[in-house]
Amino acid sequence: MSVSKGLFVAYRVLAMVVGVLLAFCALIVFPARHFATEGSALQQWGEQWSILWLAHGWIFIAYVVVSFLLWRQTRWSVPFALLVMIAGLVPLVIFWVEHVVTRRIREEHPELATTPG
C-alpha cells in the first residue's frame, strides 16, 4: 500500500514537537522543579513550566494516532510499530526513531524521497 505524503509529513512534524517538548520537560523542567532548592527562583520556574507536561501528553496522543495510521499503511511489524509509539515517552530516543522511520519510508517508498528535510 502506498504511504500518504501528508501523513508522513505530519508524523515528522509531530515527532519533532514531541521530541523537543519531552527533552525540555524531562531534562530541564523536571530537574529544576525537583532538585533545585525548595522555594528558589529556579524551582518556581520549574513549577511554572511543568504545565508543558500536559501539552506533551496531548500532543503525544496525536503522535500515537498518526503513527498508528502510518503503521496501517506501511504494515510495519508490531515490535517496530511499538518502538515508534513508545519513543515519544523516552527523552531523546524519538529523534533517532524519527530518523530511522524517515529513512525506512523513503527506502520503501521512493516516491516520497523528495520530501524536504
Per CB under 8 A, the list member of 72, 90, 96, 100 interacting with another protein is: 72
The contacts of residue 4 (CB under 8 Å, 6+ apart) are 73
Distance between CA atoms of 47 and 30, rounded to whole angstroms?
Answer: 9
Q: Tell me the closest approach of the beta carbon of residue 53 to another protein, in angstroms.
A: 8
Per CB under 8 A, the list member of 41, 65, 90, 92 interacting with another protein is: 65
C-beta of residue 98 within 8 angstroms of C-beta of residue 22: no
- Buried/exposed 85-94: b ≥16 CB within 10 Å, e otherwise: bebbeeeeeb
Q: Does 51 bind another protein (CB under 8 A)?
A: yes
Per CB under 8 A, the list member of 28, 54, 100, 113 interacting with another protein is: 54
Contact residues toward another protein (CB under 8 A) are 1-8, 51, 53-54, 57-58, 61, 64-65, 68-69, 72-73, 75, 78, 81-82, 111
